[in-house]
Amino acid sequence: MLTNASLNRPVSEDIEPADAADLSLLPTNERFMAAAVMSAMSGVNLKEGGPFGASIVRDGVLICSAHNTFFADCDPTCHAEVMTITQPRVVLLYVAADECCPLGYASSRDVIYSSFEPCPMCWSAIVSSGMKLLYIGLDRFTAAKNGVDYLSFYDAILPHTKRSNSPPMTCVNPPSSYEDERIISMLTSPDHCIIVNKDNDIIANSDSSAIDDFTTDPVDTPMVRTIRLACRYLKSPYLHGCRIYTLVEPDIESHAACLWACAESLYYSTEAPPGSSARYQRDQYTMEESERDLRVVHNCAMDICLKIIPLWYESELHKENPQLKAC
């Protein structure tokens, strides 16, 4: 039985995108993408998250696949690409195969396959992990045309490429109200983050600057840690009505995590300085795709990836949350 190794959960055997004979006839890249789609289908059937899957391949060998567990873990950062990168079995393999490769990080030999174009958070996670090649099944525009619309998240990161009605969160720089300035004054370091609910109660307060050097999580930033604390406190992947405060403009992983958590607003005092990882990510993301460090191959096994969309809309999870377009 297949498992989503990061969670050691059984994968449903009820849904298969193709039988073994069909998969054996596919070109190699399409087989790797099919593995990502199979994981995504399992995640939807198990009501763990949205219709997203990813696979990692090293030297032509499929290492692992994983899917979105947004709802199962009540964590807005548990996207397919992040879950794939952080699987324990992957970490063990990296340590055994590349002692010089930091624990939990991929190498330039690794290739990632994603059934949908990665959101800004996942794109940054892939870049941070060290991988240099990404295969995409459906780009964000094709996904939106087929009802899986997360264009507004790109708008919030790249305001000059507006394609949707409005960004899902307000960014305020610098804070102007007395209450906002009061909370900002409580921050003691660039890594300090505070989250406040609609009643102005602090629900998460973390100065987790000492990120473990051997973390297995490429999005384990101080702000993401604080968001996860708040979500655990609320027992929900959403931070509706909450405000997030930090001193310095966050990197893309952290910014996008705020968006996926549906926070009301993000406040920071200064822009990310030149030479910082946050500035590098933002500079990379504003480049033309052909100029970025991460090479992208589009439209891989599109017909296979499209199969997940009707399954998503027919799923119990979507019926219980009809307002959801993507997560």
Active-site positions read 81
> What is the torsional sign of CA 232, 238, 241, 247?
positive
For residue 87, give the nearest of 109, 119, 60, 54 by alpha carbon: 54
**Amino acid, res. 12:** S
Q: Please state, as a whole number, how many other Cβ atoms lie within 10 Å of the Cβ of residue 118.
A: 25
For residue 223, give the nearest of 162, 294, 272 by alpha carbon: 272
Produce one character per residue of 150-162: b if its CB has 16 or more CB atoms within 10 Å, e if not.
bbbbbbbbeeeee
Whether residue 265 contacts residue 243, with contact meaning beta carbons closer than 8 Å, is answered with yes
